Amino acid sequence: MELLVFVIASGMVLVGAVGVVAMRNPVHSALGLVLTLFGVAVHFVAMEAHFLAAVQVIVYAGAIVVLFLFVIMLLGVDTAEDLSIEPVPIQRPLAVIIGVGTVVLVGTAVIRTRDTIARGPELEASGDSNIRLLARNLFSDQVLAFELTSVLFIVAVAGTVLMTRKQKRVAPDRDRVGS
């Protein structure tokens, strides 16, 4: 049963990821991203990280993808891109080599160390639920980082508003004429 969940969710993740890369239309890429994010949320549930699964669906699949779609629609860049044009001649083979090399390198490291990495106790052995453990860690050990993220958000929001605001045209001397 768990194997079935793993296989189906992994299929969602990989199909969505390939869709993001291979689709010509950015809207379709965004929908592929939704599929991937839901697959990752299913994996989180399977690993009993329930709070993170909920946050994944709400923040990623909800807010971030909606923001992407909103920007795509706003800019009108939802025209299909011709993927057959290759601007730099050997770009794609090199990219594939880099990608496959990364996967092989990390995969080899994972497989070779699969028995030597220490194995800890069960996460919920103390009887506390996942969200309670997470909250205790977040608001005791990591509380400074938690507070700093609020500063980060203020800066990000203020900076974005300032950056994307349309410059107001300075009307030359209209006030002076009126007075």
Partner 1 sequence: MILAMVPNSTWYLLLAAVLFGIGAVGLLVRRNPLVMFMCIELMLNAVNLSFVAFAVRFGDIAGQTAVFFVMVVAAAEVVVGLGIIVSIMRRRPGATADDLAELKG
Per-residue contact flags (x/-) with partner 1 for residues 94 to 133, judged by CB under 8 A: xxx-xxx-xx--xx--xx--x--xxxxxxx-x----x--x
Q: Is the dihedral of CA 108, 113, 117, 123 positive or negative?
A: positive
> Taking the complex as a whole, how short is the minimal distance between the CB of residue 129 and partner 1, in angstroms?
11
Closest CA to 77 of 37, 39, 31, 24: 24
Q: Which is nearer to partner 1, 100 or 179 (CB)?
A: 100
For partner 1, give the closer residue by CB, 113 or 179. Answer: 113
- Asked if 147 interacts with partner 1 (CB under 8 A), we say no
**Of the candidates 8, 73, 129, 138, which one interacts with partner 1 according to CB under 8 A?**
138
**Least distance CB 65 / partner 1 (angstroms):** 9
Name the one residue in this structure whose structure tokens are 């057959």: 84
Our CB check for partner 1 shows the closer of 111 and 177 to be 111
Torsion of CA 85, 90, 96, 99, to 10 degrees: -120
8 binds partner 1 (CB under 8 A): no
| Nearest alpha carbon to residue 28 among 66, 84, 69, 82 | 69
CB of 171 to partner 1, least distance (A): 21
Q: Does 158 bind partner 1 (CB under 8 A)?
A: no
Among 107, 103, 124, 112, smallest CA distance to 48 is for 124
Q: Quote the least distance from Cβ 170 to partner 1, whole Å.
A: 19
CB contact set of 28 (below 8 Å; sequence gap of 6+): 19
Alpha carbons 77 and 82: distance in angstroms, whole number: 13
11-70 positions binding partner 1, by CB under 8 A: 13-14, 17-18, 20-21, 26, 29-30, 33, 36-37, 40, 43-44, 46-49, 51-52, 55-56, 59-60, 63-64, 67-68
**Distance between CA atoms of 135 and 27, rounded to whole angstroms?**
36
**For residues 21 and 99, is the Cβ–Cβ distance under 8 A?**
no
**Least distance in Å: CB of 179 to partner 1?**
35
